[in-house]
Structure 1
Amino acid sequence: MDLKNYQHEVVVTDEGLPFKLFAFEGQNGNYVREKHWHRSIEIFAVWEGRLEFTLQEKRFPLNGGEFVIVNSNEVHSIAAPDVNKTVVLQIPQDTFAEYFTDDQFIWFSHGDRETDHRVFTLLQEMYLIYTNGEEANKLQVLSLYYELLYILVTKYRKFNVNEEILKNSKQLKKLSNITRYMKDHYAESISLESMAEQFNYSPSYLSRMFQKHAGINFKDYLLGIRLEHAVRELEETNGQIVDIALGNGFPNSKAFSNAFRDKYGVLPSEYRRSNE
């Protein structure tokens, strides 16, 4: 499969939790998310409205009360032509490490109607409790989350997987290992050269690998990870902007501000004021 037009998405879990749970950014309609992939397992649950999903070139229309599971390294795109209410749960693939096959692979699909209904209900309950904002609710959300993991492993895990699916996953595995390392060490001094040495590639080969499979160059990918963490600190802490910059791998506050403005259209200070 030619992946040169597919972009790799950076997934960062919520603070203090082993997953990321959020309202779909295309909820206002007239939205298209082009083909992309990520290491995490992702579940889209549509409460109201409809979405048009494409998984590995196959279309899956979703209506209210339905959900779809996106597996690790599965190329997908999303179209939301109309207003909708959709919740997204992203689970790091390594959550299921002890259930991997010999190929370091795991795949999920839907179960029976009753089990699907329970999964949909779990996602609803998790989101409603999670967005209530009370710290003590975190434990309740986690209890629902672990029930969901149990269902995925015992009811939805598939052992007989199409060979083409396995081949495509292996194609992205090398890059996923590199991007995982970058997500773990983004605050450190990382360069193309140091990463190439870490994974026994030449810098030019690693650069081509990023451009071909992630659809983005190495520098911009690393920048995206750092900005993702920095944005969360701007929203959730009162830290000084210079400290946020240095704590997330930027050499100084000026470099951080320039990168932030290029991506979000405003300076970090302006973004923070607008979210107060």
Structure 2
Amino acid sequence: MEFQHELIIPNEGLPFKVFLFEGGNGNYVREKHWHTSIEIFAVLEGHLEFFMNKEEYPLKAGEQLIINSNEIHSIRAVEKNKTVVLQIPLKQFENYFTAQRFIRFRSQDETADVKLASLIKKLYKVYTARDVGYEFRTMSLFYEIMYMLVKNYRLTEVQEKEIRHSRRLDALSKITTYMREHYNEDLKLSDLASTFGYSDAYLSRMFQKYAKVNYKTYLQDIRMAYAYRDLLNTDRTISQIALDNGFCSSRGFSGEFQKRYGVLPSEMRKQIGQKGQKNAIE
């Protein structure tokens, strides 16, 4: 299988992740990948091209597209664009699953599409502006989006082959979800394999086949993602951030951080302070 599993970490203090699409400058290609979270792209300016199941889905300004859990897709952004991305962990919909850990959303109404895209834009604007009381307004908009998804977009009847296809990837999804909940612990491959009833060798092959990395690298990716978020959003010391996120020492964390980002955590924190908060969408 020539596709990768994408790790998604929610924004600090929120049950979802919202951000501007990283391919906004154009000349960008994201190869085939999948993730457990539901993902929605709302294009504000320019256009994007999506590919799912050998079908092309072009998006222009004012349009949005829902990517379902375990749905393999790729993205091409030839020109500049401004696109808000909302990623919602699958567990947020657990009371509305059609089958075990299975739910599907599809666009069915043009009027609803316009409203959903508008809500996602507002959500991003409120969250990044961070005015007084923004937390309440952010969650209010998020729950309105959730309500629209389960009321206007959820498919109550799906084909069995879709469920079977999703389950091929669901095993790793369960494991990676568990890892995100216990990443700051001493999480050994053997312990994880035992928890899910696999041999060490089988679980190791599963990561290589579906995530395209080994278990240790994937665990470090999770720890680094959370540590990076803490570096941006908290005043905790680098030593405390390292220990809170499963690293054995601040020295080990700093070395790994420099390998990935080219600078030490302390230097990154200074750069962030100099840049300040990015402007919200006008």
* TM > 0.5: yes
- Choose the corresponding residue for 1:222, options 195, 210, 219: 219
Aligned equivalents of 1:171 and 1:113: distance in 2? 32
Unmatched segments (≥5 aa) in structure 2: 274-282
Counterpart in the other structure of 1:41: 38
Number of positions where the alignment pairs a residue of Structure 1 with one of Structure 2:
273
SS at match of 1:275: helix
Counterpart in the other structure of 1:186: 183
Determine if the alignment matches structure 1 residue 101 to structure 2 residue 98: yes
Aligned equivalents of 2:110 and 2:136: distance in 1? 28
Unmatched segments (≥5 aa) in structure 1: none
- Choose the corresponding residue for 1:208, options 179, 184, 205: 205
Counterpart in the other structure of 1:58: 55
Counterpart in the other structure of 1:89: 86
- Superposed displacement of residue 216, structure 1: 1.6
State the TM-score, normalizing by the size of structure 2. 0.93
- Superposed displacement of residue 239, structure 1: 1.7
Computed over aligned residues only, the root mean square deviation of the Cα atoms, in angstroms, reads 1.2
Aligned equivalents of 2:75 and 2:50: distance in 1? 5
- Superposed displacement of residue 57, structure 1: 2.7
SS at match of 2:129: coil
SS at match of 2:130: coil
Aligned equivalents of 1:218 and 1:135: distance in 2? 42
SS at match of 2:7: coil
Aligned equivalents of 2:138 and 2:100: distance in 1? 32
- Choose the corresponding residue for 2:157, options 143, 160, 183: 160
Determine if the alignment matches structure 1 residue 119 to structure 2 residue 116: yes
User: CA-to-partner distance for each residue in 1:45-87, whole Å, 9 max, x for gaps?
Assistant: 0000011111233211111111110001111111111110000
Aligned 8 A contact 2:34 2:73 in 1: yes
C-alpha spacing 1:234/1:52, structure 2 compared with 1 (3 Å): same
**Letter of the 1:14 counterpart:** N
- Choose the corresponding residue for 1:28, options 14, 25, 28: 25
Mapping of residues 259-270 of structure 1, within 5 Å: 259-270=256-267
**Letter of the 2:134 counterpart:** N
**Letter of the 2:204 counterpart:** S
Aligned equivalents of 2:82 and 2:13: distance in 1? 25
**Letter of the 2:170 counterpart:** K
Aligned equivalents of 2:206 and 2:174: distance in 1? 12
Counterpart in the other structure of 1:79: 76
- Superposed displacement of residue 160, structure 1: 2.7
Aligned equivalents of 1:177 and 1:251: distance in 2? 26
Counterpart in the other structure of 2:13: 16
Aligned equivalents of 1:57 and 1:261: distance in 2? 38
- Choose the corresponding residue for 2:67, options 61, 67, 70: 70
- Choose the corresponding residue for 2:140, options 131, 134, 143: 143
Question: Which stretch shows the higher mean deviation, 52-61 or 37-46?
Answer: 52-61
C-alpha spacing 1:113/1:226, structure 2 compared with 1 (3 Å): same
User: CA-to-partner distance for each residue in 1:222-258, whole Å, 9 max, x for gaps?
Assistant: 1111111111111112222111111100111122122
Aligned 8 A contact 2:204 2:215 in 1: yes
- Superposed displacement of residue 135, structure 1: 4.7
User: CA-to-partner distance for each residue in 1:129-174, whole Å, 9 max, x for gaps?
Assistant: 1111225112112111111111111111112324432222000111
Aligned equivalents of 1:56 and 1:192: distance in 2? 33
State the identity as a percent: 50
Aligned equivalents of 1:211 and 1:135: distance in 2? 46
Question: Which stretch shows the higher mean deviation, 199-208 or 260-269?
Answer: 260-269
Aligned equivalents of 1:104 and 1:93: distance in 2? 8
C-alpha spacing 1:10/1:135, structure 2 compared with 1 (3 Å): farther
**Letter of the 2:184 counterpart:** A
Aligned equivalents of 1:243 and 1:221: distance in 2? 22
